[in-house]
Amino acid sequence: MFLKFLKLEIKSFFRGTSLGINLTMKILRFIGILYFVGCLVGGAFIAFFYVQEEIHQNPVKVVSKFMIVAWIIDLVLKYLWQEIPTQNIKPFLTMNIRKNTLVNYMLAKTFLSAFSWLSSLFFITFSLIALFNGYNILGILVWLIGVISLLYLNNFINIFFNGKETLAVIIGVCFLGIGMLGYYKIIPVLSYSESVFFSFYEKPYFALVPVALFIILWWICFRYLRNEFYLDQGLEAKKTVGKTENIAFLNKYGVIGTFINNDIKMLRRNKVTKGVLFGSFMFLFYGLLMFSSSLYKTPAMMMVMGLFVTGGFQFLFGQRVPAFDSSYYPLMMTLNVPYKEYLKAKWWLMNIVTGISIIIALCYAYFGWEVYVTFFAAGLYNIGVNSQFTLWSGAFNKTQIDLNTKEKRLGQKGSFNMIAMLLLIPKMLLPMGVFALTKYLWGITGGVISIAIIGVIGFFLREKIFNIIVKLYKKEKYSTLDAFKNIS
């Protein structure tokens, strides 16, 4: 039965209406997987021989020490990007197929995802190297089984967390707290990790614990999904009671104010858009991550930090216009909607948030006023130039978005298009190059002024640019409508 399901999925792939895009994305994903395979396999060699020959410690013990970190990272990545394949199962629920078979197939299919088995390659390669270097065969094999069993437990944990954002945030805060306690050496978290995971090697019978946990969680997860596996219950789209909200002062700005009002309500109410708001907030801290690297001292990277810190919301929200409105876009196009005002509302909303981000970025003056004025210039560039190019790229994003479903977009066909990639040149490479060149010739003042001038010019030319973008959206109108009607 499992092979029959796989054959049906292969047929649906080749018979879909978007075969070309699907095939392209599969090839790109395959190339990406090969890259990570090379990194993980190479990393295993580096980890073993560097620890053994340079640090002169036991490689298995050192890897066991950091295993808790690897486990948490694996869980976070799976939660963010690994999808639960419920959509492919729904059509079979009306057929004469045992529900137990469908649930087991869905659970088994999660292990076929690259997110499930990629991390295992590091530990398999590491274990083979250890065996060739004289380590105990039984100890290494049992250690490998125990480690991989714990990593695969994350598949089941991800299923329990799916759709439960509050619980996931609570667990995430707990992990962060544990990490801080370990970082400041209040609790020796890494030492505990070393003791637990290295015990799989020293005392092989301890590896029975993760294996038993794997079996128990499979059974619990099976029962959980089995009880929720109904079209009118667990797999049904969640419905909420509608609420009437209105931000009154925006109405005095006419049509643009009405559209902004609607977008703000959309951002506040839906899971995907709440994720956009959270991601935009996290972009404000992007600069702090980069300051830990020596790369931040280069002018180009300083500009990149400024663009991301001030333009996080713009990049996350703007490039998915009108995809966020896909559920009612066909209806909207039957009405006499002024396209220019529709896009202007998105533009003003993005730039209002960008302006707020520029003010918040004042905190970066702690690292020097040179840093902040660079970020300020990057913010002006985002307002005057990148806002238009972001809306431009949105015209080619034709992936239907379910606002009430947590979005896991990595590797999906709609998460990539060539035009959006080409538009990265004026959005990122141009300001990086101009800032680096002018700063080299005239110092920080010349670099900041040059970027700010480009942003101001773009702002004053916005009407002419809007006319071009409106024509583009109208040109793509019918292909966009067709894409939003067909989920394939």
Of the three residues 228, 262, 297, the one that is the final residue of a domain is 228
Q: Which helix (H) or strand (E) holds 180?
A: helix 165-183
Inter-residue contact 374 to 306 (CB < 8 Å): yes
* Cα–Cα distance, 437 to 340 (Å, whole number): 36
293 pLDDT higher than 70: no
Q: Say whether both 149 and 255 belong to one domain.
A: no
Q: Which structure tokens are listed for 301?
A: 């990277």
Q: Rounded to 5 degrees, what are φ and ψ at 133?
A: -105, 20
CA neighbor of 207 nearest in space, from 158, 128, 148, 137 = 148
Q: Is residue 335 part of a domain?
A: yes
Number of Cβ within a 10 Å radius of residue 480: 21
In a domain, 239, yes or no: no
**pLDDT of 380:** 93
Q: What pLDDT is recorded for position 126?
A: 94
Instruction: Note whether 266 and 213 are same-domain residues.
Output: no
Same domain for 176 and 286: no
Please return the burial class of 336, using the count of CB atoms within 10 Å of its CB with bins 0-12, 13-18 and 19+.
Answer: exposed
Q: Are residues 99 and 187 in the same domain?
A: yes
Residue 232 has pLDDT above 60, yes or no: no
What's residue 449's pLDDT?
A: 92
Domain boundary among 161, 194, 228: 228
In which band, very low, low, confident or very high, does the pLDDT at 486 lie, cut at 50, 70 and 90? low
pLDDT of residue 291: 63
| DSSP track, 203-252 | SGGGGHHHHHHHHHHHHHHHHHHHHH--TTTTTSPP---------GGGGG
What is the per-residue pLDDT for 122? 92
Say whether pLDDT at 410 is over 50: no
Is the domain of 215 the same as that of 345?
Answer: no
Residue 98, in any domain of the structure: yes
Q: What is the pLDDT of residues 362-376, one digit of tens each?
A: 988 888 888 889 999
Distance from C-alpha of 42 to C-alpha of 30, rounded to nearest angstrom: 18
Contact 229, 105 (CB under 8 A): no
Phi, psi of 476, rounded to the nearest 5 degrees: -90, 5
Tell whether 191 and 271 lie within a shared domain.
Answer: no
Q: Which residues contact 188 (CB under 8 A, 6 or more apart)?
A: 182
The model's confidence at residue 216, banded by pLDDT at 50, 70 and 90, is very high
How far from chain centre, in Å, is Cα 14? 27
Tell me the average pLDDT across 128-140: 91
Q: Would you mind telling me the total number of residues written for the chain in this entry? A: 488
pLDDT of 415 > 60? The answer is no
Last residue of a domain, one of 193, 228, 263: 228
- Residue 198: which domain range? 15-228
Would you say residue 421 lies in a domain?
A: yes
Same domain for 429 and 466? yes
Of 83-92, 230-239, 376-385, 466-475, highest mean pLDDT? 376-385
- Cβ 397 vs Cβ 473: under 8 Å: no
Q: Is the pLDDT of residue 84 over 90?
A: no
| Statement to judge: residues 53 and 192 lie in one domain | yes
pLDDT of residue 413: 44
Give domain status of residue 240, yes or no: no
Global pTM reads 0.60
283 and 420 within one domain: yes
Mark whether 223 and 319 lie in a shared domain.
Answer: no
Is a pLDDT exceeding 90 seen at residue 324?
A: no
Domain identity same for 194 and 268 = no
Residue 237 lies in a domain: no
| Section 222-248 average pLDDT | 60
The answer to whether residue 61 is domain-embedded is yes
150 and 270 in a single domain? The answer is no
Tens-place pLDDT, residues 10-47: 666 556 555 555 566 677 778 878 888 898 899 999 99
Please name the residue that has the structure tokens 């079209």: 231
Number of domains in the chain: 2
Residue 272 is inside which H or E element, if any? Answer: helix 271-283
User: Is residue 235 domain-resident?
Assistant: no
